[in-house]
Amino acid sequence: MSDCCSQPGLLPVATAREKLLNALQPVSDEECVDTAMAAGRIVAKPVTSTLDLPPCDNSAMDGYAIRFADLQSGKPLEVIGRAFAGTPFTGSVNPGTCVRIMTGAVLPDGADTVVMQEQAEAEGGFIRVSGRVSVGDHIRQRGEDIRDGDALLAPGTRITVAHIALMAAAGVHTVTVKRRPKVALFSTGDELRQPGTPLRAGDIYDSNRPALRAALSEMHLEVLDLGTLPDSRAAIAEALQRAAREADAIISSGGVSVGEADYTREVLEEQGEISFWKVAMKPGKPFAFGRLGNTPFFGLPGNPVSALVTFYQLVVPALTHIQGKTWTAPPTLQAKLQQPLKKKPGRTDFQRGIFQNDAANGLVVDPVGLQGSHILSGLAAANCFIVLPQDSGPAQPGDLVTIEPLR
């Protein structure tokens, strides 16, 4: 028996995702920002190093800078000075001498090895070296990490904290990035109230908009929050018109199903166009994609789990593309199912689960409680989606299933 919500013409998830990516254009505007403020931004122009890194040979240890050949005589070495990070020793290490050196200090002229302080016995201005020492020990070579002019980051790279450290170390103080796209966001529903306000009979708190706003912020997108709208054609039309004027993309939750008060899709059809509606996925079938002028519109279902599943599976790839970064599918793993899963052919199912290593160090996965599209506690507890293919049926304990770890 097939899924009762499956219908002819539902778009497979992969096809819907492909259509989204093919229909969208990345932002073209660029801006120059301080390197320290660039986390999460998308590189627009190549970033290259302005120096060798390290910029000079320096010590990797606290100890003594020596000439390795002097160890052959076994005689004590005279300590003729000190070298600190930022305060080099300006003389030379001549035969029979050494320099006390600290981590990060420039290697003095004449020295070719650093002996750890634990291997040196100091007495009366001289040291004796013990233990095994090899020529070149504990020296960081100039340019062993990066050379002057080396490429650091390519266009399309999302800048991480490690990238910022690399650029700063290489002397890059500004970076040219793509403008942050602005995403307009609103929820619809007469029953929706804001947390902190009292509920009347039949009311619920709006969880979609806070969750989606947080998810957009995690993607380093600018958010135009249009609030929670009533089930009103006029209010929805006004919000869509403003969003089309001021934003690069529009996201709504609710109002794209077939209920009598689901007006978002109808208003969009009147003012713009719908490219596709309804995807062969569970939860999240009533997902709509269209345009209002040149502004893309993503209509998410109202049920909270459905809204977040469609956001991660369809909207994240689309917005990543708009940001100017090539989207790549998240990694998947294979895990042994521990409990049976209900499934009817017809839609790709993204069930919520918890995976872990078992005693034999293999991956196992359990579904998290009830799988209804309104069960937020399961999604909050989950660390993965259990992805069951569109044409598959029920899954049994012991079956290998595909899991997609959650961010």
Model pLDDT for residues 250-294, shown as the tens digit of each residue: 999 987 765 555 688 888 888 999 998 899 999 999 999 999 999
Higher pLDDT, residue 347 or 407: 347
Higher pLDDT, residue 370 or 363: 363
Mean per-residue pLDDT, 336-361: 93
Distances (CA, A) of 171 to 145, 149, 162, 166, 248: 14, 11, 14, 9, 34
Peptide bond into 54 cis (omega under 30): yes
Take residue 375 and report the two structure tokens written for it.
């069960």
The residues with which 355 forms a beta bridge, in sequence order, are 365
Mean per-residue pLDDT, 8-26: 93
Using CA atoms, how far apart are residues 209 and 253, in angstroms rounded to an integer? Answer: 8
- Checking if the pLDDT of 358 tops 80, the result is yes
Question: pLDDT over 90 for what percent of the chain?
Answer: 87
Return the sign of the alpha-carbon dihedral for residues 121, 126, 128, 134.
Answer: positive
How distant is the alpha carbon of residue 294 from its chain centre? Answer: 27
What pLDDT is stored for residue 80 in this prediction? 98
Distances (CA, A) of 292 to 270, 271, 337, 360, 366: 10, 7, 44, 54, 42
- Checking if the pLDDT of 239 tops 60, the result is yes
What pLDDT is stored for residue 359 in this prediction? 74
Mean per-residue pLDDT, 52-63: 97
Q: Write down all domains in the chain, each with its CATH number in brackets.
A: 13-28+180-323 (3.40.980.10), 33-51+151-178 (3.90.105.10), 58-140 (2.170.190.11), 333-405 (2.40.340.10)
Take residue 73 and report the two structure tokens written for it.
């005589």
What pLDDT is stored for residue 259 in this prediction? 58
How distant is the alpha carbon of residue 1 from its chain centre? Answer: 39
Using CA atoms, how far apart are residues 404 and 385, in angstroms rounded to an integer? Answer: 5
Mean per-residue pLDDT, 234-260: 88
Model pLDDT for residues 65-90, shown as the tens digit of each residue: 999 999 999 999 999 999 999 999 99
What pLDDT is stored for residue 7 in this prediction? 66
